[in-house]
Structure 1
Amino acid sequence: MSGSSENPELWAFLESLHCGELLSGTVTAIERFGVFVALDDGPAHPFFPGVGFLTIPELSWRRIAAASDVVEVGQRVSCAFLQFDTWNMEARLSLRATQPDPFQAFADSTAVGRMLHGRVTKLVPIGVFVEVADGIEGLIPLRELTRPPGAAPDEVVQVGDEITVVVTEIDQERRRLALSRAETLPTCDDS
């Protein structure tokens, strides 16, 4: 799709937008790869159901299974403009940029070494993911999961298990939380 000569009005509109600018519109279509939004201002798109487009990761700070977990067709949304996608002639948008990042709030109130209770959400070859707060997941690397190391994740824990973990690293820039399995201390009731 070549740009400015075929759709000068659309091109001019998209070129006039600034990163971070708030744009309102209506969700017109939900696809497995993202969500189309018909913007209130600006022209219609010649091929797509909307000039605005949200990729799945830009819908929410939380990990979601499908776009329909967050939005529905016909819903009004207010999104931040990210960039002009000149190839598709669309405005790339972000819904999550208009909401506070729960990871930053968590990181500001949590220190390395803190013990937390969490629920195992996913087993992967490199370890297990544990949700320690609403929408906040951390990874226990395989080497931190078992003592002595060597067992597969599913030999130690299952999805849904409640476990105690220790925060070993908080990477605010990459929004990553590293955890370790908390050692259970022996009880002293055999006196």
Structure 2
Amino acid sequence: MESVRCGEFLSGTVTAIERFGVFVALDDGPDHPVFPGVGFISVPELSWRRIEAASDVVQVGQRVSCEFLQFDTWNLEARLSLRSTQPDPFQAFADGVVVGQELHGQVTKLVPFGVFVQVADGVEGLVHLRELTRTPVRTPSDVVRVGDEVTVLVTEIDVERRRLALSRRQAASGHR
């Protein structure tokens, strides 16, 4: 594995799916005490989209081509990325949207500090609790539920950190 450089592509077969990621038997992989020729893809490196489980993206026995990130000398495995082989939907989204633009989306998750709204395929933004309504609320569930369609205003686009800040309060329809 010393000859493999960051950014190179390695192919293999998914051998095991765990809660924390996926093991891949690499075609040209090193020996490994447990899994021969093992590569490992952590859950965040599987997809640009938020996923519930690794099995939403890959299945045991599936052939994959991944980008090599680094060799983990502690676990003797090649760390891999599957998502880097696909275009980042956030990048494409950010190229076509500006701060102050109104968007329509669906509430996907409620958290104590606000709600996440999907505004494009694979792109979610955060509406902070203070940006949910004009009058203060204690919890997001006081005003919205998962699945609700909402109108939001883009207040910040951070391409580097892949973060999108939204406001429901500042949208033209003005929520009380």
The answer to whether TM tops 0.5 is yes
Deviation at 1:139, TM superposition (A): 0.2
Tell me, in whole angstroms, the C-alpha distance in 2 between the residues paired with 1:128 and 1:49.
Answer: 43
Fraction of identical pairs, as percent: 77
Supply the AA of the counterpart residue of 1:58. Answer: E
Q: Is the 1:37–1:49 contact (alpha carbons within 8 Å) kept by the matching residues of 2?
A: no
Match status 1:52 vs 2:60? no
Aligned match of 1:87: 74
Aligned match of 2:111: 124
Structure of greater Rg: 1
Match status 1:173 vs 2:139? no
Secondary structure of 2:93's aligned partner = helix
Q: Is the 2:30–2:36 contact (alpha carbons within 8 Å) kept by the matching residues of 1?
A: no
Q: Which moved more, 1:35-44 or 1:96-105?
A: 35-44
Deviation at 1:49, TM superposition (A): 5.8
Aligned match of 1:29: 16
Tell me, in whole angstroms, the C-alpha distance in 2 between the residues paired with 1:142 and 1:175.
Answer: 20
Match status 1:184 vs 2:173? yes
Consecutive unaligned residues of structure 2, counting only runs of 5 or more, are: none
Deviation at 1:28, TM superposition (A): 0.5
How many residue pairs match? The answer is 173
Match status 1:161 vs 2:143? no
Deviation at 1:51, TM superposition (A): 1.2
Supply the AA of the counterpart residue of 2:52. Answer: A
Deviation at 1:185, TM superposition (A): 5.8
Deviation at 1:54, TM superposition (A): 0.3
Task: Note the alpha carbon deviations across 1:26-69, whole angstroms, 9 max, x for none.
Answer: 00110111100001113342213651000000000000000000
Secondary structure of 1:87's aligned partner = coil
Aligned match of 2:123: 136
Q: Among 85, 88, 100, which residue is 2:87 paired with?
A: 100
State the TM-score, normalizing by the size of structure 2.
0.94
State the TM-score, normalizing by the size of structure 1.
0.87
Tell me, in whole angstroms, the C-alpha distance in 1 between the residues paired with 2:164 and 2:122.
Answer: 12
Q: Structure 1 28/185 Cα, relative in aligned 2: closer, same or farther at 3 Å?
A: closer
Aligned match of 2:50: 63
Consecutive unaligned residues of structure 1, counting only runs of 5 or more, are: 1-13, 187-191
Tell me, in whole angstroms, the C-alpha distance in 2 between the residues paired with 1:94 and 1:33.
Answer: 14
Deviation at 1:150, TM superposition (A): 3.0
Secondary structure of 2:28's aligned partner = coil
Q: Is the 2:29–2:36 contact (alpha carbons within 8 Å) kept by the matching residues of 1?
A: no
Match status 1:145 vs 2:132? yes
Secondary structure of 1:15's aligned partner = coil
